[in-house]
Structure 1
Amino acid sequence: MKTILILIIFFCNYLPFINNGYCQNLINQNIGNYYDNIVSESSLPLYNGKFYNDIYKTKSDTIHPFLKKDFISGSVTYENQFYQNVNIKFDIYKDNLLINPKNKSNVFTLILDKSKVENFNFLNKTFINIDYKKYSNSKSFSGFFEYIPIQNNFELLVKYNKENEKVIFNEKLIDEFYYSQNFYIVVDNKIHKFNSKKDAIEIFKKNKSDINTFYRKNKYKEKNNPVMFKIELLNLLKSNSK
């Protein structure tokens, strides 16, 4: 690992045709891996969280408080330190990030201190802790949001939620979870609600006709893939505002 890191640094410094941004990301990742190999996992700040106790009783494995039930490999920036190849699970009911240390049973799960998580990546998604962003009204919001930049003009934020309800099933009290998403966009460094057509028209008054047409033609996508629906709407608004 040390030899690989030295070679990467050498090539990045002495071969002018290599992209500097790409090199810096590669160096950061390999430094993180080298550091993790030197320091025992149990002593890293990332692995000093509280133990997670799954207290929910559901009628099937498909019902749970997570974005995805299984642990999935991803990366986390925690206390200004970047970690990759981390087993991640996102509890969207409690808005907590859970990790499973390597070579441990899935029963061994830790809850990270949310205030120390700057961002994390998994499922090909980037999530930010809104407390680390300096939006003009960010203090009115809290927790983790999926972060989707729309070129240079807009930033789409997606808040994933699950609500819990106790129900009777086979004469037993069990948990049901109901999934939802809330959308926001950042315009001029301010967060705006972006759930409905009314919200979009309120922000982009000059584009009312375009918004009405887009909603009318894309009802299926709005229902079945709302994230892509919002991305395509914002790309349309961006191109029409030129």
Structure 2
Amino acid sequence: MMTNLFSVFDPSSSIFNFSLNWLSTFLGILMIPSMYWLMPSRYNIFWNNILMTLNKEFKILLGPMSMNGSTFIFISLFSMILFNNFMGLFPYIFTSTSHLTLTLTLAIPLWLCFMLYGWINNTQHMFTHLVPQGTPSILMPFMVCIETISNIIRPMTLAVRLTANMIAGHLLLTLLGNTGSSIPTMFLVLLIITQIALLILESAVAMIQSYVFAVLSTLYSSEVN
């Protein structure tokens, strides 16, 4: 019996006090060897097309002044989050992206690197970002405060957005699944159809949230150049 509703997200299996649930994050390593086959499979071609499309889009977001290869970090970020989001949809596999431990670990170092790079190399450009163009003189002190606060909470909003979306869908699936044993048989078909529809929706959310995380990180990066 669950102590509370959120206990379904707690790491439960462990050996020598080391949580084995987090090993689900590294399951993608099992899929890497197929990338080195001489004859690429349809899966490889499909994935490469997705990566090439993302590369073109991130290049546009970063602007013409970006360095070659600067999009790779955001493509890797997208791939990692997408894989972990999908892993959480399988039964008995731990959803690591539903924990702030992982999402903050991704968001805070990225944000810190962007801020340090921007303030050290483009200090004047970073100061101009604090006051949007066309702001009246009387509102400038308030705008500096608002822009500073919005800048500081960026890693938190990135992490919480991803975590909250993952938790919300999984909780809904868990709640509906727990009612299966207590409802009449005639409603079971309706419950199964609803669960399948929610699973499809969660698959879409898994893709959208990984894309949103990567795109927002790219946009934050483009602002410091």
| TM-score under structure 2 length normalisation | 0.29
Higher helix share: 2
Q: Which has the higher contact order (CA 8 A, sep 6+)?
A: 2
Higher strand share: 1
| TM-score under structure 1 length normalisation | 0.27
